[in-house]
Structure 1
Amino acid sequence: MADNKVKTEKTDQVSLIKKKTFKADSRQIERRVKLSGFLRSVFGVSIAMTLLVLVFLLVDIVRDSVGWLDWDFLTGNLSIFPEKAGIFGAIMGTVYMMLIVIPVTFILGVSTAIYLEEYAKPGKLKDFININLSNLASVPSVIFGLLGLALFSRLMGLGGSILAGGLTMSLLVLPIVVVAAQEALKAVPGFLREASYGLGADKWTTVSRVVLPVALPGMLTGFILGVSRAIGETAPLVVLGIPTLIMKIPQSVMDDFTTMPIQIYYWTLDTVLTPEYANLAAATIVVLLVVLFLMNSVAIFIRNKFEKKF
């Protein structure tokens, strides 16, 4: 009888503890649900405000560009007279610069990521490189402009040429591409490598035929972000001394050049003296946005085409 009484008391105590625990868990769950709803509302309002500001800016820019964005503006040369000014030279300068940035950044970025993730042995040196890559990705762009001025413009004697600008912009976006490519390589399932090695493939065959095709979509994502930043940056080119008014169209990578962001920057500054420059800047912004949209669309299409899910 005594044993049964003790067992009954223990059972009652356990039931009481479970009820208290359940009540405590219920209150905690209720608080978390309320907090989740509150944060969802805050984030929704933030997104709505961001989209509202973006729409307002786009409408204002498109409205200011009406009447100025035409075929003569796209094919004309730069001029001190607003009604005669065109941006064909700036467009070609931007295109030529990106023809340097894209291959240099992609080849160096992907090669560095492959070495660090597939070949480099774990240790202090690898950790040191990874830490510095992460830090370089957040360095202000004007610092890279100073580096390009000292290294490419003065030490190598490239001056304000397209080659100097393209190499400087490559340094700017290279850490972003390397970090993104590293993360894409880390995301490749390990069983794919093991299956390749099990079939007798060597290291490079596994990396080039198995790992890279799977990691390519993720690499392109970081590459898109890097190229988009490079095409819209102004500070490094200003430090290099890239001029704003060039009458001739660049013909080679050693020619002087200007870009659309540079032209937008200086036209915006000159609106104090000549109000019509605001319309020219708005029209150039529309062209730059269209170029960015087309480049990103092509890259996203390539990424989605080669994307594989495992």
Structure 2
Amino acid sequence: MVRTVDIKPPLVAAKPLGTGTNGELRPSALIFLILLWLSLLVAFGVLVTLLITIFLEGQNKLTMDLITNFPASTPDGAGARPAILGSIWVIITTAVLSIPIGIAAAVHLEEFADNRKWYNRLVELNVQNLAAVPSIVYGLLALAFLALLGVGDTNIVIGGAFALTLLILPVIIISTREALRGVPREIRDGSLALGATEWQTTWRQTLPAAVPGIATGSILALSRALGEAAPLLVLGALVYITFDPNGLLSGYTTLPIQIFNWTGRPQEGFHELAAATSVLLLVVLLLMNGLAIFIRNKFQKRW
């Protein structure tokens, strides 16, 4: 009978954390961490300085006249009423166009499309790439599409909403797919085991469970669209109007375009109006982002 003897390898003393090859306390790691925090502090300082400067410059114009009055040739008594109403018209139309299409596309890609098919993978790749395309490209695309349809006057509400829909549609699709992926597979399997079809499972189980994530992504996408000016300028959006937009075929302007117009004027009063309008736009964007955070924290489920 042959006896086997287990020979254990000799124990190697562990190196100190600060000198290890993967230690977090290495000098290079500490230098990188310090540089990272310095970069964050510099960026945050610049942002705070910019916000304070804008507020101080425009505080004298933060009155009801800014909301209720029309633009004028002189800065005294001028307001941004058409821009406010135009932004409301454009954003509501954009939401109506983009949210249903984005959710439907995300549901198809995530729940029903066969990822083994090359054309489905191609669509997914294009959606991911389109989310990073500069916004002015969408303005050019919308301009070309409207010209192809024979639309001569492109500076209308529906034209601007179409350009912004193209801009935020990939973002809505990606955020909706992430929300759907967050729903546990067990919910789908349980619904299917009880006799529900795939469509019934998606409509009655998966989509309701993903609503908080879908709403959050859609609101953040719309807040991005609210602050865009480049694609609308490409479509010929008016920079100076003295009437209220009253329909989808009406001329319009928006808050970013109005700010762009006033900053190009030589009078100091118009610069103050631009700063005050910027503060108003920032407040609206903060409210939209706050609403998205509230919906996420209030209705998000922990699985």
Q: 1:288 to 1:206 in 2, by over 3 A?
A: same
CA-CA distance at 1:115 after TM superposition? 0.5
In the alignment, structure 1 segments of 5+ residues that lack a partner are none
Letter in 2 for 1:31: G
Pairing of 1:1-310 with structure 2 (within 5 A): 10=7, 14-15=9-10, 18-19=11-12, 22-23=14-15, 27-28=19-20, 31-34=23-26, 35-122=28-115, 123-152=117-146, 155-157=149-151, 159-270=154-265, 273-310=266-303
The aligned length equals: 299
CA distance in 1 between counterparts of 2:295 and 2:18 reads 49
In the alignment, structure 2 segments of 5+ residues that lack a partner are none
Determine what percentage of the aligned residue pairs are the same residue. Answer: 36
Q: TM-score, normalised by structure 1?
A: 0.89
CA distance in 1 between counterparts of 2:29 and 2:187 reads 38
Provide Cα deviations, 1:90-140, integer angstroms capped at 9, x if missing partner: 000000101111122111111000001111122101100011111111111
CA distance in 2 between counterparts of 1:140 and 1:217 reads 28
Provide Cα deviations, 1:135-158, integer angstroms capped at 9, x if missing partner: 111111111111111223662525
CA distance in 1 between counterparts of 2:295 and 2:16 reads 52
Q: 1:132 to 1:30 in 2, by over 3 A?
A: closer
SS across alignment from 1:276? helix
CA-CA distance at 1:287 after TM superposition? 0.7
Q: Give the root-mean-square deviation of aligned CA atoms.
A: 2.3
Q: CA contact under 8 A between 1:153 and 1:164: conserved in structure 2?
A: no
Q: TM-score, normalised by structure 2?
A: 0.91
CA-CA distance at 1:24 after TM superposition? 8.3
CA-CA distance at 1:295 after TM superposition? 2.0
CA distance in 2 between counterparts of 1:33 and 1:112 reads 47
Structure with the greater alpha carbon radius of gyration: 1
SS across alignment from 1:106? helix
CA distance in 2 between counterparts of 1:27 and 1:203 reads 56
